[in-house]
Amino acid sequence: MNKTEASAPGKLMLFGEHAVVYDRPCLVTAVNQRIRASVSPNPNNAVRINAPDVNIRDYEVGVEDLGNNNQTPKGIKFVEFGLKNFFEKYHLSSGINVETHSDFSSQFGFGSSSAVTVALLKALSIQFNTNTTNQELFELAYKTVLDVQGVGSGFDLAAGIWGGTLYFVGGGKEITPVSIDHWPIVVGYTGIKADTATLVNQVSKLHQRQPTIIDQIFDTIASIVTKAKECIGRNNLEQLGELMNLNQGLLDSLGVSTQQLDNLTIAARSSGAWGAKLSGAGGGDCMIALVSNQKRSLVESAIVSAGGQVLTVEANAPGVRQE
Ligand code: MEV
């Protein structure tokens, strides 16, 4: 095949971040901001990667050297390790060109690394006709994330693959679609880029110092996630908002909220949101607020007045697909 292109959505964590790294459940939704990856044969038997969104042009590496080069630029590590893991699994060794494009900035914390990994692996599976199932795609993508980042629950990969809204248990032990027609959320960006691995490691150290207390916090977050899933089923948005606030309090106790995230969540609540919390690793990136139609513009203005940027995204987006 000449050229194959696939795209995968970014994600927003709704409930359960950090606890999900410790095998608890979370709720995640895919967003309508996608990353595309295209692959085509490279006649010189080399791997050539172009990723203009992260300023990488014509990066070349030998097929046999994939993943062995300590100099791989950060922006394309997931692509390089994804290729390596795919070739290893299917005993392939072919020159290939890869090009990636993103609808959204990697600054926002929508999971550009996971989306690019999923889109790449899907494009490869079509190009090489490997009949890779979604579950196998998840396993390959999860191995890639662990190879590059060392930590992570894989929730963002599941959102990229299956799309929609998912109940996800750490490492992919359970992945169940959750049905909701529309997520009435506002997304506020703090303007600060957070590093997920740093925050996960920070929580891990706290967990080592205070194992009993932190495990209890994770268990309470797990109860919030279970309750939130029930509330979605009953369309009880007011209670869902209350659960967001409780989740935010526990994330604060884990030390991952910041002054900016607090400012934006408090502004959203004071202007009438049902609830608000940080979304993702914390330390910056985004917060989400659950709002009625009547309060939406008030909440958006309050977030902007508190120094945030409102991002226009739709939740429940479709998962990975061929373009
Ligand atoms: C980061 O967006 C969410 C974390 O739970 C990490 C993960 O689940 O991989 C902090």
Distances in whole angstroms, Cα of residue 152 to Cα of each of 18, 23, 157: 9, 11, 10
Grade residue 168 by pLDDT with cuts at 50, 70 and 90.
Answer: very high
Give yes or no for residue 250 CB within 6 A of ligand 1. no
In the reported structure, the alpha carbon of residue 155 is separated from the centroid of ligand 1 by a whole-number distance in angstroms of: 7
Catalytic residue among 53, 58, 156, 285: 156
Confidence of residue 104 (pLDDT cuts 50, 70, 90): confident
189: left (phi over 0), alpha (psi -120 to 50) or beta: beta
pLDDT of residue 210: 98
Contacting residues for 107 by C-beta, under 8 A, at least 6 apart: 189, 193
- Global pTM? 0.96
| Closest protein CA for atom 8 of ligand 1 | 153
Tell whether the model's pLDDT for residue 259 goes beyond 90. yes
Q: What is the pLDDT of residue 109?
A: 77
Structural contact between residues 39 and 96, judged by C-beta atoms closer than 8 angstroms = yes
The answer to whether the CB of 218 is under 6 A from ligand 1 is no
- Average pLDDT of the segment spanning 235-255: 97
Mutate to test the pocket of ligand 1, among 156, 204, 207 (most ligand atoms within 8 A of CB): 156
Query: Which residue reads 């890869």 in tokens?
Result: 98
**Residue 20 in contact with ligand 1 by CB distance below 6 A:** yes
Q: Which of the four pLDDT bands, split at 50, 70 and 90, describes residue 71? A: confident
Ligand 1: nearest atom to the Cα of 111? 2
DSSP-based three-state secondary structure for 25: strand
Mutate to test the pocket of ligand 1, among 14, 27, 153, 261 (most ligand atoms within 8 A of CB): 153
Q: What is d(CA 18, CA 256) in angstroms, rounded to the nearest whole number?
A: 9
Ligand 1 atom with least separation from CA of 285: 2
pLDDT (0 to 100) of residue 59: 94
User: What is the length of the chain?
Assistant: 323
CA of 18 to the centre of ligand 1 (A): 5
Confirm or reject: Cβ of 281 under 6 Å from ligand 1.
yes
156 is catalytic: yes
What is residue 249's predicted lDDT score, i.e. its pLDDT?
98
Q: Are 9 and 159 in contact (CB under 8 A)?
A: yes
Which band of pLDDT confidence, cut at 50, 70 and 90, is reported for residue 44? confident
Closest approach atom of ligand 1 to CA 152? 9
C-alpha to C-alpha distance for 246 and 284, rounded to whole angstroms: 19
**H or E element in which residue 145 lies:** helix 134-149
Whether 21 is in the pocket of ligand 1, judged by its Cβ within 6 Å, is yes
The SS3 call for residue 204 is helix
CB distance 196 to ligand 1 below 6 Å: yes
- Counting from 1 in the atom list of ligand 1, the atom nearest the Cα of 199 is 10
Distance of CA 42 from the midpoint of ligand 1 (Å): 35
Residues 181, 164: Cα–Cα separation, whole Å:
10
The percent of residues above 70 in pLDDT, for the chain, comes to 100
Report the DSSP pairing between strands 46-51 and 96-102: parallel
Across the range 20-41, mean pLDDT stands at 97
Count Cα neighbours of 228 within 13 Å in the Cβ-side half-sphere.
Answer: 30
Convert the pLDDT of each residue in 125-160 to its tens digit: 999 999 999 999 999 999 999 999 998 999 999 999
Reported in sequence order, the residue ranges of the chain that DSSP labels E, i.e. its strands, are: 4-15, 25-41, 46-51, 56-62, 96-102, 165-169, 174-178, 185-189, 275-279, 286-290, 309-311, 321-322
**Residue among 139, 131, 233 nearest 177 (CA):** 233
Looking at the CA of residue 13, tell me the nearest atom of ligand 1.
2
Asked whether the beta carbons of 120 and 132 are under 8 A apart, the reply is no
Q: What pLDDT, on the 0 to 100 scale, is given for residue 192? A: 92
* Residue 176 pLDDT greater than 90, yes or no: yes
73, pLDDT greater than 90:
no
Q: Are 22 and 43 in contact (CB under 8 A)?
A: no
pLDDT of residue 111: 84
Nearest CA to ligand 1 atom 6: 152
